[in-house]
Structure 1
Amino acid sequence: MEEATESTHCCENVSDSEEDKCSDTDFPPSQLGTKEFWEDVYQKELETFKDIGDVGEIWFGEESMSRMLRWMDKAKIPENAAILDIGTGNGAFLVELARHGYRNLTGIDYSPASVELARNVLQAEDLADVTVKEMDFLNCQGELKGFDICIDKGTFDAISLNPDNREEGKKLYVQALKDALKDKGFFAITSCNWTKEQLLDRFCEGLEFVQELPTPSFQFGGKTGHSVTALIFKRVH
């Protein structure tokens, strides 16, 4: 689900306030939480790519990819690490990971048009060894296992906006994530809807907080906050 810039479709995350303690029901449901919306988005991007070779926009912008790659370098993630891109969208981050030397890459998305687009983009980059699957992360039936790193840039945000059963969807997401990760495997999430405190609360079971990655900050009304939150967790049993 990688379709927007860093500020598009996002709620600003204001930290150091009582707003950090707001419940998961504070966000109204949105079409951004529906499969139909994303299928339409990626069908249009697929047609554009076939016409002019434009891969479309990058969720959270190119800086979000650079930020993650810098962390992976500092964490000394090996090039053969099994990496899962949850909600791969147009596959742009898979391309960047491959360019960076990572060789064991898998991307999933529940949108058939997204998967076709990502495969076309990877083929154009001569990256035939990258795996892309049409799969709903919330209903993967245990098919995803043994990953050293799971990366999410916006997918959990979209699930949180689903008009139907979004609370159940968030619970299914956490369980699918724990099933997919190896013991001591890393989970890297970038969110524009949830604050650090809210994400810590949501992913406290079976995951250990490692660090927060620096993102641009802003000041408004005497408060300091971030439009984007990027956190790293580790799987623990």
Structure 2
Amino acid sequence: MAEPRQDSHGCGNCSDLEEDKYSDDDFETSKLGTKEYWEEAYQKELETFKDIGDVGEIWFGEESMNRVLRWMQKAKIPEDAAILDIGTGNGAFLVELAKHGYRNLTGIDYSPASVELARNVLQAEGLTDVTVKETDFLNCGGELAGFDVCIDKGTFDAISLNPDDNKEGKKLYVHTLRDALKDSGIFAITSCNWTKEQLLERFCEGFEFVQELPTPSFQFGGRIGNSVAALIFKRVR
């Protein structure tokens, strides 16, 4: 695990060579990157929720939501900010955002079972004003635009693991993200596959690095690293 880089300025320019170095050869593809896997997983979680009311797994745990929420409150993100939860899963983050007073919320997922589960979870919480849509982030046809904040906990990871041309998928993700955000809009990403340095390289065009959020660290072989990276970016022209 690479040691965290200390600079806190913009990313600068990245060449195709740098992009390839950081993005495509670090780990193998996996079924975790397929729509079929997630549809099956969320179908099981949906059935469990209907049976016993269990919302299922919270990706990266509750602390992953709390650290982003703490940053949003410290940064004074307005309660009426348009917020997009990319790959909403069971909608747990939407619930937490709503409980913290945010009221212009949209969640998307390409899994129909995920969307149904999220809607059921939100309804059970009495949150009827949250929008959840079945949308493939990489194939949304310009449908997503005008957001002040976009949040990703694991969706970019899954796209990176897709056996079907994940290199193109990662490029398309960045393009779609730029289109979805307003100028100076905020992007918060949590990843267990990519290091801070790799994320800085991937999002170096059209984004400015703002801050790294603290995540649990470990020491191995005399070096300190993090199993999860959580970064904040700002959309720039």
TM-score relative to the length of structure 1: 0.92
Which residue pairs with 1:93 in the alignment?
A: 93
1:15 to 2:27 alignment: no
Question: What percentage of aligned pairs have identical amino acids?
Answer: 82
| Structure 2 CA distance for aligned equivalents of residues 74 and 22 of structure 1 | 31
Whole-angstrom CA distance in 2 between matches of 1:125 and 1:24? 40
Partner of 1:164: 164
- Indicate the residue corresponding to 2:229 in structure 1: 229
- 2:144 aligned residue: 144
Contact conserved, 2:4 with 2:197, CA < 8 A, in 1?
A: no
**Whole-Å separation in 1 of the counterparts to 2:34 and 2:24:** 17
8 Å contact kept, 2:82–2:104: yes
Change (3 A) 1:124 1:209: same
Count of matched residue positions in the alignment of Structure 1 and Structure 2: 222
> Hey, what does 2:58 align to over in structure 1?
58
| Alpha-carbon distance in 1 for matches of 2:227, 2:214 | 11
Q: Secondary structure at the match of 2:41?
A: helix
User: Do the aligned residues in 1 keep the contact of 2:82 with 2:147 (CA within 8 Å)?
Assistant: yes
For residues 196-237 of structure 1, give each alpha carbon's deviation from its aligned partner in whole angstroms, at most 9, with x where no partner exists. 000000000000000000001000011110000000000000
What residue number does 1:10 align with?
none
1:130 maps to which residue? 130
Aligned to 2:9: none
Q: Which amino acid aligns with 1:163?
A: P
CA distance in 1, matches of 2:26, 2:199: 14
Letter of the 1:142 counterpart: G
User: What displacement does 1:27 show?
Assistant: 1.0
Q: Using the alignment, how far apart are the partners of 1:54 and 1:110 within structure 2?
A: 21
SS at match of 2:25: helix
Q: 1:16: Cα distance to partner?
A: 5.2
2:2, 2:154 → 1: CA distance?
Answer: 18
CA distance in 1, matches of 2:127, 2:121: 9
Aligned to 1:6: none
Structure 2 CA distance, aligned partners of 1:129 and 1:16? 40
What aligned pairs does 1:1-237 form with structure 2 within 5 A after superposition? 13-15=1-3, 22-237=22-237
Residue-by-residue CA offset, 1:2-29 (whole Å, 9 max, x unaligned):
xxxxxxxxxxx54359xxx644222101
| Deviates most, 21-30 or 108-117 | 21-30
Secondary structure of 1:211's counterpart equals: strand
Unmatched runs of 5 consecutive residues or more in structure 2: 6-20
CA contact 2:218–2:225 (8 Å) conserved in 1: yes
1-side partners of 2:210 and 2:67: how far apart? 15
8 Å CA contact retained: 2:184, 2:235: yes
C-alpha distance in 1, partners of 2:59/2:97?
Answer: 15
RMSD: 1.1
For 2:23 and 2:204, how far apart are their aligned partners in 1?
A: 15
Residue-by-residue CA offset, 1:138-194 (whole Å, 9 max, x unaligned): 001000000000000000000000001100000110000000000000000000000
